[in-house]
Amino acid sequence: MRCCVVMCIIGVVVLSMTGIADVRTFTGSSDASAAVMLDARHFVVADDENNTLRIYAIDGPSEPVSQVDLDAFLCIETDHPEADIEGAARVADRIYWITSHGRNKNGKERPNRYAFFATDIVSDGRGVPTIKPVGRPYRRLAYDLMLNQRLRFLGLDKTIRLAEPLTKSQREALAPKENGLNIEGLAVGPNGSLLIGLRNPHYVDPVREKEMAIILVLENPDEMVARSTPARFGEPILLDADGLGIRSIEQIVSDSGQRRYLIAAGAINGKNRFAFFTWAGGDGPLHARRVELPDEFTPEAMFQVHGTNTICILSDDGTIEKEVAGPDECLPGELLKNGRCPNKFLLDAERRTFRAITVRDRKEIK
């Protein structure tokens, strides 16, 4: 008998966060997609438009203090090179990273986007933390999802369909913002597991006829990157997130040591609709949270600042329009009719920016 944990949103319970305590702009990257705190001052962030991990000082200058290029480690194919890194989770001094495992916007397979890998936190010799890749990238997670009997009822195989002869319309239907697989969240789970949050697809509860967000429980992440052992999954978790998918999920720890999760949820089709929830894990419900966001802010990565009750939320600002002097400052073909350039297409990478807000979490789930 198939079984899963089903959570319901409690619409009448709204736990408030305080307003925006700080808004900062960082340079050198535009599409912040995953982030992890390294020590009390530094964090590392991925950009889903390239394969470079950048390290910033949360209280320092806006530019990165260092960066690590992953092209060689990930064995990136030069055609369509972006790996589309979307999630990160820290376990001790190891950070696990996951890509979207999705096709492109036209439903075409992109081999670079199928990777699960790890980095370790080390010192750069100057007292500043950096990271180094370890093990080997695991590239068969999508196949493991298609073949896993425990997950069969979710219908994930129908959203992946790798190596199948597809018609143009069948292929286009598998785009990440249509009916195709799209992974965007990764967090620490119980007993050495990781929680994988799906932005797409949803699971439709046949009894309640509700669209439920899916969280997969990955039980053997270390074996996967160390020995290429096939992925092993626990029972999936289904969350009633008001029809939204998972954009980011982060385990947070209160002053008393209580552990729970903050979830940023969003529409699967790219529409500008977002919501925040806290979740105690297990069979507990979701609780809606109020978080004030700046204009054009697209929350896609979060981390807890070490030793505080402050949560840092990063925005994917890649589509924000930037003023340019002329078309030679923008990627060929990407200059807009109004003479501006989307942030992510600025040829001078140092001009690309993303924003971070900090909010203080003042309540605990009892």
Burial of 92 (0-12, 13-18, 19+ CB in 10 A): exposed
pLDDT in tens, 154-200: 999 999 999 999 999 999 999 999 999 999 999 999 999 999 999 99
* Strand ranges inside 243-309, DSSP E: 245-253, 259-266, 274-279, 286-290, 299-304
pLDDT score, position 362: 57
287 band by pLDDT with thresholds 50, 70 and 90 = very high
Q: Is the pLDDT of residue 363 over 70?
A: no
Q: Is the pLDDT of residue 21 over 60?
A: no
Rounded CA-CA distance 88/301 in Å is 9
Q: At 86, which amino acid appears?
A: E
Taking a C-beta distance cutoff of 8 angstroms, is the pair 133, 70 a contact?
yes
pLDDT score, position 324: 98
Q: Which of 6-10, 279-283, 292-296 has the lowest mean pLDDT?
A: 6-10
pLDDT in tens, 48-87: 999 999 999 999 899 999 999 999 999 999 999 999 999 9
148 band by pLDDT with thresholds 50, 70 and 90 = very high
pTM: 0.94
Domain extent listing, the chain: 5-17+44-294
> Per DSSP, what are the bridge partners of residue 261?
251, 279
